[in-house]
Amino acid sequence: MKNDEAKNSVKSWWEEHPCNAEWSKLTTQSKEYYDAIEKERYRMEPCIPPFARFDLGKNKKILEVGVGIGTDFIQWAKSGANAYGIDMTEQAISYTKKRLEVYNLKVAELKQSDAENLEFDTDYFDLVYSWGVIHHTPDMEKAFAEIVRVCNKNGEIKLMLYNRHSIFVFITWMRFCLFKGHFWKSLKYAVGNFVESPGTKAYTRSEIRSLLKKYPVDNIKIELKFKNQFIFKLVLFKKSNGTLRN
């Protein structure tokens, strides 16, 4: 029950704050509105296109976990990918459906769903992509396990996760903990209580590597990228032919 309550809190927050929806001053979901948001997203986060490599999506079966308002998702559709997308919020699905309609794009499937319980067969996708999403779900490791499960053998998984040892997190801790006299509070506490939805998590490189050791993955690459004093961890790896490691 505790997990369900936490998940509902996260969902409610993102229903009220659709990701990047405020980046355009236009009030209608028009092509101009979405064009403005796309331009701003890739200006603010220029590391997304070279990391995602949308241009290599053609004919691949791709799942995006957490489509948000669809900025990255439509790039997969434009590339000719067999694109599937999920998000836990009604707002995200509504924005993304409208966006696909505006650009006259077709995808394989877009639905409201839970990253911790992916409704797809094992070994189904050539690529699973998720940008800044699964660190918001209460049971991140369950979501991670699901992503590995649905990715086919030798398929790729590309994730962006927040980095706990970043300037942004330290500033957040100073602002909401140190300067409030709560100097004993941890960086984890600062992220979980003052960065976006309730319970947000951020990870160290060693924590990510420890997590990956439990799963049949290899060719692991972890990169750090700056964005407005926040350092992202970009995690790229391939699913191997091995089995879950205990």
pTM of the model: 0.94
Cα 91 from Cα 185, distance rounded (Å): 34
* Residue 41 DSSP SS3: helix
Half-sphere exposure of 155 (CA within 13 A, CB side): 22
CA angle 209, 210, 214 (to 5 degrees): 105
* pLDDT of the residue at 214: 92
* pLDDT of the residue at 242: 61
Determine how many CB atoms are found less than 10 A away from the CB of residue 72. Answer: 23
Q: Are 85 and 110 in contact (CB under 8 A)?
A: yes
Determine how many CB atoms are found less than 10 A away from the CB of residue 196. Answer: 16
The distance from CA 178 to its chain's CA centroid, rounded to whole angstroms, is: 29
Strand partners, 218: 238
Helical axes 31-44 vs 71-79, angle rounded to 10°: 100
* Residue 51 DSSP SS3: helix
Residues of the chain with pLDDT under 70: 1, 227-231, 242-246
Q: Where are the alpha helices (DSSP H) in 133-166?
A: 140-150
> 165 CB contacts (<8 Å, ≥6 apart)?
187, 204, 231
- Over residues 77-119, the pLDDT tens digits come to 999 999 999 999 999 999 999 999 999 999 999 999 999 999 9
The distance from CA 19 to its chain's CA centroid, rounded to whole angstroms, is: 11
Quick one: tokens of 69? 């308002």
